[in-house]
Structure 1
């Protein structure tokens, strides 16, 4: 029996060694990190019970988009208090994919912080996020239909505010070029005989405005300002 177990045992040792080499968490001995700040909504009111999680990860995929990697590892977590304040004590891992996530629920935006901590230790082992604002989210659904018959063409675009907020830091300095926090985005298409109708949607912020820009058959552009005042807003347009 022992003779037949040896090949399997060798394979198990090799697999374990590969996994170990690919997943070396460099926790600092007897070291804890303090992550602090406060959470508020778009009106400046505190948001209690928002969950703050500190992560590290190993993986080939990008941490936040299109989905969190299954290899991420939670170093610590806690919730904001009734005043929106939070103070999380966590482990500290020196890794290129160190992250902090603040999440309330699906009705609010989330906040993401990332940093490469391979050769970075925060002053006093403290990361102060300051005031983090979470906004109520909305989905803007639109339907565009051609009713004018063959040969008519529509160029259109929606300018809107993204509901995504990622702040990328290089050590203690915010990297504005890589960060993406509530950016202005554009969704544009051309509708014609090949594709006359459109039904789609974008995620944005409740209370924001969307600019609808369109041109029919090469005519001068026209604009329409749309106030987003519903969490599931519908917009219909015919040409």
Structure 2
């Protein structure tokens, strides 16, 4: 019997649905542990740690995370959680405090890899207090003065990817340095913007006036709302 297109599509959906379930190992448990500290190495209690793995990957259902369990950090910032061990391309640990702090994500592939002693030790989780850096340049000099500038800063996002317990720097994005710049002149003499970073991060402002030698200054963000004003 030849199947119609609709029947073929229906059975294909069922195949994708049931073939993409995460295979959990029988009688196997995984220990996930670590310690949550802020930028001053002070412990953070009551941080939420959630462990998930992937399920339902396909052209119909997309990719979702299957929740395996959660726990909160203790008064000294430590945490331990025992979960099922699934064989999948994505095993995820998320650490979140609240909107005043950065979050952290650990990702690894457990499809063919088994962590040593069935343990994933995150060590110190790099959580930091968020900060807004308000950047303002105003021209106070006469017309026909041109300013060329760049701003380098560290973002407030941290996601680490591990392959066989080794950090994969190519896939990792953890407090990366980003930059932008521009030219200010008669048509556009002023600029103002806000970037999201974290307390303790360094921002480097470099500029050149009318093509002269470039000058730079480095600012350390030491408060959640930091205003940087520059006149030329």
TM-score normalised according to structure 1 size: 0.81
Deviating beyond 6 angstroms after TM superposition, the runs of 4 or more aligned structure 1 residues are none
Task: Give the structure 2 partner of residue 66 of structure 1.
Answer: none
Number of aligned pairs?
224
What is the distance in 2 between the residues matched to 1:146 and 1:156?
Answer: 13
Task: Give the structure 2 partner of residue 80 of structure 1.
Answer: 73
Task: Give the structure 2 partner of residue 25 of structure 1.
Answer: 22
Task: Give the structure 1 partner of residue 34 of structure 2.
Answer: 37
CA 1:234–1:30 in 2, change beyond 3 Å: closer, same or farther? same
The CA deviation at 1:231 is 0.7
Aligned pair partner of 2:206 in 209, 213, 216: 213
CA 1:195–1:17 in 2, change beyond 3 Å: closer, same or farther? farther
Task: Give the structure 1 partner of residue 99 of structure 2.
Answer: 106
Task: Give the structure 2 partner of residue 159 of structure 1.
Answer: 152
What is the distance in 2 between the residues matched to 1:187 and 1:139?
Answer: 16
The answer to whether the 8 A contact 2:37-2:43 is kept is yes
5+ residue gaps, structure 2, are none
What is the distance in 2 between the residues matched to 1:74 and 1:145?
Answer: 50
The CA deviation at 1:52 is 0.9
5+ residue gaps, structure 1, are 1-6, 61-68
Answering whether residue 52 of structure 2 is matched by residue 55 of structure 1, we say: yes
The answer to whether the 8 A contact 1:77-1:89 is kept is no
Task: Give the structure 2 partner of residue 173 of structure 1.
Answer: 166
CA 1:72–1:152 in 2, change beyond 3 Å: closer, same or farther? farther
The answer to whether the 8 A contact 1:47-1:82 is kept is yes
Task: Give the structure 1 partner of residue 138 of structure 2.
Answer: 145
> CA RMSD for the aligned pairs?
2.7
